[in-house]
Structure 1
Amino acid sequence: MATVVSYTARPRRLTQALLLLLALATGLGAIALVSLGRTGELPSSFPLTAGMAAGIAVLLQVLVMIRAPYADPTILPLTLLLNLIGLAAISSYDTARILFNDKTSAYAGRQLIWTAVGVLACAAVLWLLRDHRILRRYTWVSAVAGALFLLLPLVPGLGRDVYGARIWISIAGYSFQPAEIAKILFAVFFAGYLVSRRDTLALAGPKVLGIHLPRWSDFGPIVVAWAFAVAILVFETDLGTSLMFFGLFVAMLYIATDRLSWMIIGAVMFLPPALYAVTQVSHVQKRLTCWLDPLASSNYEACFQINQGLFGMGAGGVVGAGLGEGRPSMVPFGQSDFIFSGIAEEMGMIGTFAVLLMYLLLVQRALRAAVGISDGFGTLLAGGLGFVIALQVFVVVGGVTRVMPLTGLTLPFLAAGGSSLVANWIIVGLLVRLSDAARRPSARRAGAGAPHGAGAPHGATASDAGAAAPQGVAA
């Protein structure tokens, strides 16, 4: 006998339209204030920026109404607002460089173009992917494609070394970071693999010192994931990307099995390569030194970037210097790696807390979709994608504020960079699709009122339907 909590799903498209309008007004207002604060007038490009942003909002609203009417109404407004705040911060960096350093800077213009490309990619996901469960058919294809993307920077003549890390490729003069696409492919692979092995990973295997260890037959893909993380660290000398991929796998293991032991096993497995990086990789050693004592006289030149970022955040105080009133150009890479310090300088502690709250809400909506969806694959995919965003925000903000060493990852939607922006908009498209599946009345009834196996989506196992039932349902 089943106890079912009654639930009437509503599309809530009007709510999304109002939130998109609010995000549009707030974001464009921030861009306008940056120019008014710096030069006292609106830039000549403002009508184009406003027109493109308005077109993006209309496109997203119409597309969701047609393809995903029951999607969470807050995901797209939060993303658009973060993207526009990022444009405002990059525009402030550009104008500061031009005024104070007498240099030409056009990062904001390029970021606007990449925003359009990212939104089109998001729209393509929503239009072409009618059912997220189709992705499960490509579990192993995603694994191979993700591995190939990770290996591209090692190809002679294609990969590029940038400040000690070989994570970029260059094609026809354009740079691209293939790991950004690889993280999506690996999230699909991990979800597809773990949903079919969750029971054996959670229950089978010996128990040592209170920790459930996996069987050797199930441990193989885990070792492969660990080996890829180590390979990225050794051959591409990038601790941040290595941490992101292995952290994604361990987090999805925890979601699939609900075993804290996997977090412990993951930490133990990642410790040796991390120690190797600290002792053998020069730029990782420098980052560790700057984390421990950036203001030491012997570290002044090596730690100049992080010191300038700390001074900028300190100058912002509680309420900030005001949009367009700071000097973010004093921080190297203030448009990308250290954009958070520029936001803190001009928007203050209140503004940075607001930005972090937006990230928190975005991740919370991803996890809400993971809880509400009726199949195990969707639960793992939504949880994994939400964790990727959360991990990147924690690692980047932690590095800038000296909570942890710098890693070289980018702040989603805010930092300048085409590959990161496009990949994160694709993630948002997937989250919108997953939230639509979670909130549809048919999906709710199938997940809530059926015993194991009944109402399971096509391509899902009987255990998928029962394990991913919404909260409040007792089977």
Structure 2
Amino acid sequence: MTGTPTQQTGQVTADTSVLKALRSIRVPQTHRNRELFLLVFAFVINGSAVALVQLGAIGAIDWTFLVYCGGLTALVLALHIVLRLVARDADPFVVPIATLLTGIGIAMIYRLDLAWERHGWEAFSTRQLAWAAIALVLAVIVVVALRNYRVLFRYTYLSGLVGIVLLILPIIPGLGTDANADVWVSLGFFSFQPGELAKIALAIFFAGYLVRTRESLSSVGTRFLGMTWPRARELGPVVVIWIVSLGIIVLQRDLGTGLLIFGMFIAMLYVATGKTSWVLIGVVLAAGGAFLASRVLPYVGARFTNWLDAFNPALMDNSSFQLVNGIFGLAQGGLLGTGLGQGRPYLTPVAESDYIFPSLGEELGLIGIFAILCLYMVFTSRGIRIGLAGQDDFGKLLATGLSFTIALQVFIMVGGVTRIIPLTGLTTPFLAAGGSSLVANWIIVALLLRISDAVRSRPRVVIG
């Protein structure tokens, strides 16, 4: 810069005015316009899927259920309008992908209801629509009420306490249900799975805890085999979470939730420290815990037996019947599928929840389930991108942890029903029947929207 001091001062003042003016400019809502276009695309696919299910299963279109689906569409549009008003810079891909996955899941659940001739409130699809409406309303509330997601950092340890309490609820006498795993809580008029909400509370706790301790976790340790290994005292939190996960597996007979929570913590720990040694330690502990559980706990051992020897005739008529039927359904679908409403996914037990992925594979084929997996991949990548673009460590860890939770849950369920890994008792996000899972996943959507809006709305000026 040249000129007299007075001229230089005037130039600096002018530059400052320009920067303030740039900050005050209202950028056109290109993100929201892109989101609206994608939402219309999702609405068309969802409506077409329901219509094709009706034509394939009963040969006619029932407009009543389509009208119900239209009410759900109105709620999604309400969320879109709210984003235009209070979170205009939020990611434009998250809501359309969640909407499309939710709609495809409802269409398949409805197809199974038609096969079993379930009507009214007895139909899983009716309940799924009701839970989807509740989930969308809660997502709107979170977006409106949580103007600054960083306030969650103040409640780090409270969130951890809430997460632990939610995990303990199913084993409290009088609250649990008589299910295969103690993961449900019954309040008389409805049941819910507190572990689905616990994963959100624990993600907030992990993010806040790692922000406070990341220096000691990443800067000290012993150098060995080209990597820096943590000291014994830094291993303490990992061992505690590992023990908690094993406790869930032992006390609740819930292998899936234990793996999910431990995997989420290890992933967030890696993002916080950047140390590969944490990942290796996590893999060793997870493998060791799974091996120990398979030897000590009969129900875990049975799952490993069904996984390794599923096509044994002695098991096919009993414990591995569900797994084998799901694999046969996927094989029946082939490349293009039998067509919506024209397969026989109802032959597999619990096809609307645990085995909804093979149900979709039978009627949509390999191309269809690859498309669904691509949707999950894009959803996860957008969430991780939101985290990496963040300028504060808490938002970065929270967005990454929540996104990885969705990805890990998909891997555990898809891997289980395709016999890549032993089957566990989780739900496929957005697709499977289950109100608790749907509510939790749409809350995750709302949190990602809030974080992405905060990241994008910050002015960035490059001066050459």
Q: Settle same-fold status: TM greater than 0.5.
A: yes
Contact between 1:254 and 1:262, CA under 8 Å: does it hold in 2? yes
Equivalent of residue 160 in structure 2, options 140, 143, 150? 143
- Tell me the distance in 2 between the aligned counterparts of 1:417 and 1:381: 24
Give the C-alpha shift of residue 311 in structure 1: 0.9
Q: In the alignment, does 2:79 pair up with 1:60?
A: yes
The one-letter amino acid paired with 2:406 is: I
Residues 34-66 of structure 1 show CA distances to partners (whole Å, capped at 9, x for unaligned) of 011111112242243232122122111101101
Alignment of 1:260-339 (within 5 A): 260-300=276-316, 301-339=318-356
Equivalent of residue 248 in structure 1, options 259, 264, 268? 264
Q: In the alignment, does 2:242 pair up with 1:226?
A: yes
Contact between 1:97 and 1:104, CA under 8 Å: does it hold in 2? no
Residues 192-241 of structure 1 show CA distances to partners (whole Å, capped at 9, x for unaligned) of 11112212211113334444333444433323212211111111121111
Residues 154-179 of structure 1 show CA distances to partners (whole Å, capped at 9, x for unaligned) of 1011112422x211111114221111
- Tell me the distance in 2 between the aligned counterparts of 1:30 and 1:325: 13
RMSD: 2.1
- Tell me the distance in 2 between the aligned counterparts of 1:312 and 1:278: 28
The one-letter amino acid paired with 2:453 is: D
Distance 1:182 1:384, change over 3 A: same
- Tell me the distance in 1 between the aligned counterparts of 2:228 and 2:62: 61
Contact between 2:360 and 2:369, CA under 8 Å: does it hold in 1? yes
Q: In the alignment, does 2:142 pair up with 1:122?
A: no
Q: In the alignment, does 2:425 pair up with 1:408?
A: yes
Where does residue 471 of structure 1 map in the other structure?
none
Where does residue 16 of structure 2 map in the other structure?
none
For structure 1, which runs of at least 5 residues remain unmatched after alignment?
A: 1-5, 450-475
Q: State how many pairs are aligned.
A: 438
Give the C-alpha shift of residue 380 in structure 1: 0.3
Give the C-alpha shift of residue 345 in structure 1: 0.5
Where does residue 357 of structure 1 map in the other structure?
374
Instruction: Single out whichever of 137-146 and 231-240 deviates more from structure 2.
Output: 231-240
Contact between 2:69 and 2:129, CA under 8 Å: does it hold in 1? no
Contact between 1:32 and 1:46, CA under 8 Å: does it hold in 2? no
- Tell me the distance in 2 between the aligned counterparts of 1:386 and 1:103: 35
Contact between 1:295 and 1:307, CA under 8 Å: does it hold in 2? yes
- Tell me the distance in 2 between the aligned counterparts of 1:332 and 1:85: 20
Give the C-alpha shift of residue 293 in structure 1: 1.8
- Tell me the distance in 2 between the aligned counterparts of 1:363 and 1:409: 18
Give the C-alpha shift of residue 18 in structure 1: 0.9
For structure 2, which runs of at least 5 residues remain unmatched after alignment?
A: 1-21
What is the DSSP-based 3-state SS (H/G/I as helix, E as strand, rest coil) of the residue aligned with 2:398? Answer: helix
Q: In the alignment, does 2:46 pair up with 1:30?
A: no
What is the DSSP-based 3-state SS (H/G/I as helix, E as strand, rest coil) of the residue aligned with 1:318? Answer: coil
What is the DSSP-based 3-state SS (H/G/I as helix, E as strand, rest coil) of the residue aligned with 1:167? Answer: coil
Where does residue 214 of structure 1 map in the other structure?
230
What is the DSSP-based 3-state SS (H/G/I as helix, E as strand, rest coil) of the residue aligned with 2:182? Answer: strand
What is the DSSP-based 3-state SS (H/G/I as helix, E as strand, rest coil) of the residue aligned with 1:162? Answer: coil
Residues 266-314 of structure 1 show CA distances to partners (whole Å, capped at 9, x for unaligned) of 1222233212221122222222112112111111111110111011111
User: Over alpha carbons, which structure has the higher Rg?
Assistant: 2
Equivalent of residue 174 in structure 2, options 157, 166, 175? 157
Where does residue 5 of structure 2 map in the other structure?
none
Residues 88-118 of structure 1 show CA distances to partners (whole Å, capped at 9, x for unaligned) of 010111111229xx99950000000000011
What is the DSSP-based 3-state SS (H/G/I as helix, E as strand, rest coil) of the residue aligned with 2:154? Answer: helix
Distance 1:389 1:91, change over 3 A: same
Q: In the alignment, does 2:358 pair up with 1:373?
A: no
What is the DSSP-based 3-state SS (H/G/I as helix, E as strand, rest coil) of the residue aligned with 1:157? Answer: coil
Give the C-alpha shift of residue 425 in structure 1: 0.4
- Tell me the distance in 2 between the aligned counterparts of 1:294 and 1:269: 26
Equivalent of residue 45 in structure 1, options 46, 54, 64? 64
Give the C-alpha shift of residue 86 in structure 1: 0.2
- Tell me the distance in 2 between the aligned counterparts of 1:73 and 1:32: 27
Q: In the alignment, does 2:458 pair up with 1:438?
A: no
Equivalent of residue 237 in structure 1, options 213, 237, 253? 253
- Tell me the distance in 1 between the aligned counterparts of 2:417 and 2:122: 23
Alignment of 1:153-192 (within 5 A): 153-163=170-180, 165-192=181-208
Where does residue 13 of structure 2 map in the other structure?
none
What is the DSSP-based 3-state SS (H/G/I as helix, E as strand, rest coil) of the residue aligned with 2:117? Answer: helix
Where does residue 10 of structure 2 map in the other structure?
none
- Tell me the distance in 1 between the aligned counterparts of 2:377 and 2:287: 28
Equivalent of residue 78 in structure 1, options 93, 97, 101? 97
- Tell me the distance in 1 between the aligned counterparts of 2:330 and 2:291: 30
Contact between 1:96 and 1:328, CA under 8 Å: does it hold in 2? no
Equivalent of residue 69 in structure 1, options 88, 91, 105? 88
Q: In the alignment, does 2:105 pair up with 1:89?
A: no
- Tell me the distance in 2 between the aligned counterparts of 1:314 and 1:268: 34
- Tell me the distance in 1 between the aligned counterparts of 2:249 and 2:296: 11
Contact between 1:93 and 1:335, CA under 8 Å: does it hold in 2? yes
Contact between 1:97 and 1:105, CA under 8 Å: does it hold in 2? no
- Tell me the distance in 2 between the aligned counterparts of 1:105 and 1:355: 28
- Tell me the distance in 2 between the aligned counterparts of 1:310 and 1:26: 26
* TM-score, structure 2 as length reference: 0.90
- Tell me the distance in 2 between the aligned counterparts of 1:318 and 1:267: 34
Contact between 1:94 and 1:105, CA under 8 Å: does it hold in 2? no
The one-letter amino acid paired with 2:365 is: G
Where does residue 40 of structure 2 map in the other structure?
21
Distance 1:388 1:194, change over 3 A: same
What is the DSSP-based 3-state SS (H/G/I as helix, E as strand, rest coil) of the residue aligned with 2:183? Answer: strand
Where does residue 464 of structure 1 map in the other structure?
none
Equivalent of residue 419 in structure 1, options 423, 433, 436? 436
Instruction: Single out whichever of 20-29 and 280-289 deviates more from structure 2.
Output: 280-289
Instruction: Single out whichever of 214-223 and 57-66 deviates more from structure 2.
Output: 214-223
The one-letter amino acid paired with 1:58 is: L
